[in-house]
Amino acid sequence: MSDETTHETARRRTVRRPTAAWTALLLCLTTALLATAWTTPPRAAPAPPVPGGSVPAVGRAWPVGLRPPVVRAWEPPPTPYARGHRGVDLSAPAGSGVRAVAAGRVAFAGRVAGRGVVTVELTGTGDPPLRTTYEPVRTAVRKGDEVTAGALLGTLEPAPSHCPTACLHWGLRRGDTYLDPLSLLPPWLLRRGPSRLLPVPR
């Protein structure tokens, strides 16, 4: 065998060795990745949102006064059409200023069954957004108005109600689900003295 033939054979072996090494390395990596995929549990799909969802404490002001007495608390009905109290009643003198508890946009301002009602769609509270309602109110805003926390929405009307004295009915909804409006208020607002539940006239 000539020196030239021996040199060519050695060159071919040198070329083949790296190719075989890369093939072996690629095979090892593929095996390791497949083993990881088989042994790693799949990620759980995100849970569907609970109807109503949690309520962020975005409130920055009480709707009336500094810390009004709660005449009647929120009593969620057991079924959508059952009896309950879909909001809270806050005692305040007629003519008191009614203010937005958080920033948002006025979705409704008008009269319903002879009572003034204001609804504010709260900014940055999800889809569908949270909506607060205030009644009976002599409105000072219009539909579409942007309001900040503490902005004046109107004044409390002396309309007949189920409260022993004049009171504001304050409600909260997400879509068709009624929620406790007091859950909008952060602890520092709720700590300004205890609530006083007054007797409801029969």
Which pair of tokens denotes residue 187? 């602890």
Residue 58 to residue 100: CA distance in whole angstroms = 11
- Count other C-beta atoms under 10 Å from residue 180's C-beta: 16
Whether the predicted pLDDT of 191 surpasses 60: yes
pLDDT confidence of residue 39: 40
Kindly list the distances between the CA atom of residue 5 and the CA atoms of 13, 14, 80, 137, 166, in Å, as whole numbers in the listed order.
13, 14, 93, 104, 111
pTM of the model: 0.67
**What is the pLDDT at residue 201?**
44
Q: Where are the alpha helices (DSSP H) in the chain?
A: 3-39, 187-190
What is residue 52's predicted lDDT score, i.e. its pLDDT? 43
Residue pair 182/74 in contact (Cβ under 8 Å)? The answer is: yes
Measured CA angle at 129 (ends 123, 134), to 5 deg? 80
20 band by pLDDT with thresholds 50, 70 and 90:
low
Query: Band of the pLDDT at 75, cuts 50, 70, 90?
Result: confident
State yes or no: pLDDT of 193 exceeds 80. Answer: no
Judge if the upstream peptide bond of residue 136 is cis by omega within 30 degrees of 0.
yes
Pairing of strands 146-147, 177-179: unpaired
C-alpha span between 164 and 129 (Å, rounded): 33
* Confidence label for 131 from pLDDT (cuts 50, 70 and 90): very high
Query: Which burial class, exposed, middle or buried, applies to 177 when counting CB atoms under 10 A from its CB (0-12, 13-18, 19+)?
Result: middle
The pLDDT of 130-137, averaged and rounded, is: 96
Inform me whether the pLDDT recorded for 29 exceeds 70.
no
